[in-house]
Amino acid sequence: MKLWGGRYDVDTDALMHKLNASIRFDQRLWREDVQGSRAWAQGLHRAGLLTDEELAALLEGLAQIEAEWEAGTFALHPDDEDIHTAHERRLHELVGAVAGKLHTGRSRNDQVATDVRLYVRRQLDQLDAEIRTVQAALLAQAEQHIDLLMPGYTHLQQAQPIRYSHWVLSFFWMLQRDRERLRDARSRVNVLPLGSGALAGHSLGVDRTFLAEQLGFEAVSPNSLDAVSDRDFIVEVLAAAALLGVHLSRLAEDLIIYATREFGFVRLDPRYTTGSSLMPQKANPDALELARGKSGRLIGNLTTLLVVLKGLPSTYNKDLQEDKEPLFDTLDTLHDLLPVMAGVIETMQPQPERMRAALDDAMLATDLADYLVRQGVPFRQAHHLVGRAVAEAEARGVPLRALPREVYARIHPALDADLSVVFDVERAVDAKQAIGSTGRDAVQVQIENARRALQAT
């Protein structure tokens, strides 16, 4: 019999049951559903609605259900619609009629909202630790290769020389903001909906502050209508996760390019590449391609939920059951992806000779302009003059540093000088000492700050 079957004299259509049932995916909420039920039973007891014996029986039954899940022996029944009905059915089998008292004043609407919040709260803590592991791998690369220089790009065209560490750390800070966003979302996740009933609250005197304490929630939802239908806490998590996915995808894209034979800036560990069934020479960067590809589903999951929510009338509607699959998929995807990304980063080997060989003199054109600026030439004019030197060098097929001095002298008298200091890549990079720049000292400060950010809880 369905737990809501009182007014019905026919069975649900079998295909309708299949469509309606969420047990297939919400059974993973078993732990939180037991947790919530335990708190509610205690709340009912304190309100005088359960005797000591009844409370003891319910708690014993719930403990048994928990033990069955832990042992992998909890048996689902074909009629179980969702995790809440499955538990109520099993509780009946275990403790008899008193099981019917547990749902007093409670609705699956406030129950499911409570379960999902408890679940997301736990998941966020795991996610934070996983992102940290990726950050730690990035930081280790930055520390180990502090003196390594490489070309920096804009428009994927060589722009200015930078430190490899500086490039690596740029992703550290993106992930740091992702962690901050998830942590910020956590404070809005950590609010108790239980006690909101189906939509209007309850009249049975169960103390919601007590429930919040029992379940470790920081606040009690202020409006029952909102509490049973609010899924913005999930939207926030999916949005932060989608953005995290975008950051991982961008890192993956850089690395895919840098790992090509043409660039050869990094070598990926064979544990994270795969071969081709046809071409024996291949080592494909599949881990990174999947990081790039999976960002698509993370974005899709956010979009799915936003579209489900838009246009819903107040308050609970069954559409809301569609919140779970995108949420679970996003969390599962990240739990799979983040440790692999950490592994890819930990084991990748930058290739100094290839980076060095790619450092073309043209990337020092800006430094040459800066040199003129220090000689009193307005920057706009300096830019123009150096542009002429670049064109001249290109026409002659030589690097900038190899243009004869008289050519430079003809372009501007201030260039009639020993320009070798300008064409010193190390010096050019290390001169960038403003906060957040690529100079050695500035990157060292960045590394210190990154260490501190990782240590902070």
Among 34, 62, 95, 112, which residue sits at the site for ligand ARG (rule: CB under 6 A)? 112
Q: Could you tell me the smallest distance in angstroms from the CB atom of residue 321 to ligand ARG?
A: 4
Q: Could you tell me the smallest distance in angstroms from the CB atom of residue 303 to ligand ARG?
A: 20
Q: Could you tell me the smallest distance in angstroms from the CB atom of residue 21 to ligand ARG?
A: 8
Q: Could you tell me the smallest distance in angstroms from the CB atom of residue 124 to ligand ARG?
A: 20
Q: Give me the catalytic one of 187, 276, 314, 335.
A: 276
Q: Which is nearer to ligand ARG, 109 or 221 (CB)?
A: 109
Interhelix angle 164-189/108-144, nearest 10 degrees: 160
Which residue, 241, 293, 252, is CA-closest to 128? 241
**Cα separation, 240 vs 36, whole angstroms:** 27
**Cα separation, 424 vs 179, whole angstroms:** 39
Radius of gyration of the chain (CA): 31
Q: Which is nearer to ligand ARG, 228 or 256 (CB)?
A: 228
Interhelix angle 208-215/30-46, nearest 10 degrees: 140
Q: Which two tokens stand for residue 63?
A: 């403990």
Q: Is 295 an active-site residue?
A: no
Q: What pairs with residue 191 in β-bridges?
A: 219
Q: Could you tell me the smallest distance in angstroms from the CB atom of residue 186 to ligand ARG?
A: 22
> How many CA atoms lie within 13 Å of 388's alpha carbon, on the beta-carbon side?
12
Q: What pairs with residue 151 in β-bridges?
A: 161
Q: Which residues contact 232 (CB under 8 A, 6 or more apart)?
A: 188, 309
- For the segment 313-352, give every residue that binds ligand ARG (CB under 6 A): 316, 318, 320-321
Element spanning 266, H or E: strand 266-267
Q: Is 224 an active-site residue?
A: no
Q: Which is nearer to ligand ARG, 12 or 321 (CB)?
A: 321
Among 33, 66, 80, 82, which residue sits at the site for ligand ARG (rule: CB under 6 A)? 82
33 binds ligand ARG (CB under 6 A): no
Q: Give me the catalytic one of 77, 92, 103, 155.
A: 155
231 binds ligand ARG (CB under 6 A): no
* Eight-state DSSP code of residue 438: S
Name the residues that contact ligand ARG, by CB under 6 A.
Answer: 22, 26, 82, 108-109, 112, 316, 318, 320-321
Q: Catalytic residue numbers?
A: 155, 276
